[in-house]
């Protein structure tokens, strides 16, 4: 019971802070979105290396490359093939433009996304030398093979990197074509809930990098961390975040430009994906001592790290408490049907409040995005006209998704105990 009350209290406090920051800064956000395509200076002031890690991406790679080619600014797209056994390489080679391809082969391939990205950095170094580029003006970005950037990304990235204090930037993340309730849940999770969490982290100077839509200064990062900055945790993006913070690098979050990615189609894939993420968080526990002793990381950054790394364990304990309390409640209610119906009604209403608020904020954010004309595809805005039935189902899923994610947490702990570090890659839609 105590663990459950602690978890509920933490959740309510976290949500309250998210809502406060969101509404406090909402006018500023709307003004930024109104100037979505404003550039302070020449769009060619930076040179972008766009790294695209691939493993059997024949369904999406050409669309992703075409989107990157269409972006404004100077760039070199680096496709990193991790020994695909489909037509990924052939389809990438058929595209014309500033595209280089790094082909990794077994047994030195499929050793993790971090390894794959590190392999490409030697090519980035080589191109900078050959073309006599200014390393201070070179930006390295990571785009997943299904990632599509909004058309204003380079405008906003340039404006952000003009500030010499900014060493890395994370774009907002969204899902493509969210048609089903499960896909809509994922879209709300990324575009709204994670967005609100990043706003809190921004206030704490503890913005977290995501696996998709992350960018950093080549010169600063390689000087402090070497030519291979990524580690190889299953959650390589958060591991990179920790390494940046331990080296005093500042990460900025951009909420007025975004990257699209595919949503998962079924609960089985969702459980598998979240299990991998949860285990990746457990992988990062090895940094706890360094974080604690770090003279560089701020207290706020350390607090964010402790909270992020311990939250899965708190969630597991809270979920067990929920199961126990639910069983006790049902046993008692069976002998009191009137109490059961009335209390169940109020419990469902109370339990759905936060899901309702998140869904309403999500719909409002979609309207702002559409008005700013940065929507990547019309299908991104499908939920603007969400029907009542889908709305209620989405609210219900948001409010009670912990039932599904509990399975992910247990699976991740089981895999960690067994020493399993390999996962089946999620297939593209």
Question: What pLDDT score does 423 carry?
Answer: 67
- Please identify which residue in the block is written with the tokens 């402790």: 306
Domain boundary assignment for the chain: 1-429
User: Cα(305)–Cα(323) distance, rounded to whole angstroms?
Assistant: 28
Strand partners, 26: none
Cβ atoms 409, 278 nearer than 8 A? yes
Residues 6+ apart with CB under 8 A from 391: 359
Provide the 8-state DSSP code for 63.
H
**Whether the Cβ atoms of residue 157 and residue 253 lie closer than 8 Å to each other:** no
Q: Tokens for 350?
A: 């109370």
Per cent of the chain over pLDDT 90 is: 69
- Between the alpha carbon of residue 99 and those of residues 84, 93, 194, 412, the distances in Å are 18, 8, 32, 37
pLDDT surpasses 70 at 4 = no
Residue 381 has pLDDT above 80, yes or no: yes
Cα first-last separation, the chain = 42
Q: Is residue 367 scored above 80 in pLDDT?
A: yes
* 326 pLDDT above the threshold of 80: no
Count the alpha carbons within 13 Å of 66 in the hemisphere toward its beta carbon: 6
User: Of 122-126, 168-172, 231-235, 415-419, where does mean pLDDT reach its minimum?
Assistant: 415-419
Per the confidence metrics, is the pTM higher than 0.85? Answer: yes
- Cα 19 from Cα 244, distance rounded (Å): 28
pLDDT digits (tens, 9 = 90+) for 131-159: 999 999 999 999 999 999 999 999 999 99
CA nearest neighbour of 224 among 287, 283, 166, 167? 167
Give the span between the Cα atoms of 235 and 239, in whole angstroms: 6
Q: What is the layout of strands, in order, in the sheet containing 99-104?
A: 99-104, 74-82, 47-54, 138-142, 214-217, 168-175, 251-261, 148-149
pLDDT at 211 over 90: no
**Bridge pairing between strands 138-142 and 47-54:** parallel
Rounded distance, CA 393 to CA 395, Å? 5
99-104 and 168-175 beta bridge pairing:
unpaired
| Average predicted confidence (pLDDT) for the chain | 91
Instruction: Report which of residues 331 and 126 the model is more confident about.
Output: 126
CATH 3.40.50.300 fits 1-429, yes or no: no
Q: What confidence tens digit (pLDDT) does each residue in 170-187 have? A: 999 999 999 999 999 999
Residues 345 and 358: their CA atoms lie apart, in Å, by: 21
Let me know: does 150 contact 376? Beta carbons within 8 Å.
yes
- Phi (first) and psi of residue 216, to 5 degrees: -150, 160
Give the three-state DSSP class for 174.
strand
């Amino acid at each position: 019971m105590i663990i459950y009350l602690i978890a509920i209290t933490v959740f309510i406090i976290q949500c309250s802070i998210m809502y406060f920051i969101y509404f406090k800064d909402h006018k500023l956000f709307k003004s930024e979105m109104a100037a979505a395509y404003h550039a302070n200076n020449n769009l060619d002031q930076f040179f972008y290396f766009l790294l695209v890690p691939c493993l059997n991406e024949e369904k999406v790679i050409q669309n992703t490359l075409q989107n990157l080619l269409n972006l404004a600014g100077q760039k070199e797209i680096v496709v990193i093939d991790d020994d695909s056994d489909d037509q990924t390489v052939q389809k990438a080679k058929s595209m014309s433009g500033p595209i280089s391809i790094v082909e990794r082969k077994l047994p030195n391939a499929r050793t993790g996304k971090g390894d794959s990205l590190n392999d490409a950095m030697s090519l980035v170094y080589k191109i900078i030398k050959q073309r006599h580029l200014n390393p201070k003006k070179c930006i390295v970005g990571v785009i997943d093979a299904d990632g599509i950037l909004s058309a204003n990304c380079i405008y906003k990235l340039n404006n952000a990197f003009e500030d010499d204090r900014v060493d890395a930037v994370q774009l907002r993340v969204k899902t493509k074509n969210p048609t089903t309730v499960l896909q809509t849940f994922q879209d709300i999770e990324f575009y709204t809930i994670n967005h609100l969490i990043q706003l809190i982290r921004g206030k704490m100077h503890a913005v977290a990098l995501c696996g998709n839509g992350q960018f950093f200064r080549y010169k600063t990062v390689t000087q402090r961390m070497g030519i291979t900055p990524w580690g190889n945790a299953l959650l390589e993006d958060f591991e990179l975040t920790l390494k940046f913070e331990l080296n005093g690098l500042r990460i900025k979050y951009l909420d007025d430009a975004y990257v699209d990615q595919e949503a998962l189609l079924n609960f089985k894939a969702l459980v598998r994906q979240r299990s991998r993420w949860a285990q990746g968080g457990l992988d990062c526990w090895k940094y706890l001592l360094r974080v604690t002793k770090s003279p560089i990381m701020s207290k706020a950054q350390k607090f964010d790290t402790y909270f992020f790394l311990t939250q899965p364990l708190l969630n597991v304990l809270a979920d067990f408490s929920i199961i126990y309390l639910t069983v006790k409640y049902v046993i008692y209610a069976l002998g009191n049907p009137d109490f059961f119906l009335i209390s169940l009604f109020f419990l469902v209403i109370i339990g759905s409040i936060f899901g309702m608020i998140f869904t309403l904020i999500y719909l409002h954010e979609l309207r702002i995005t559409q008005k700013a004309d940065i929507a990547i595809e019309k299908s991104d805005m499908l939920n603007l006209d969400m029907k009542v039935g889908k709305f209620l189902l989405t609210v219900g899923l948001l409010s009670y998704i912990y039932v599904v994610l509990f399975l992910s947490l247990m699976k991740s702990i089981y895999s960690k105990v067994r020493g399993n570090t390999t996962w089946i890659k999620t297939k593209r839609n």
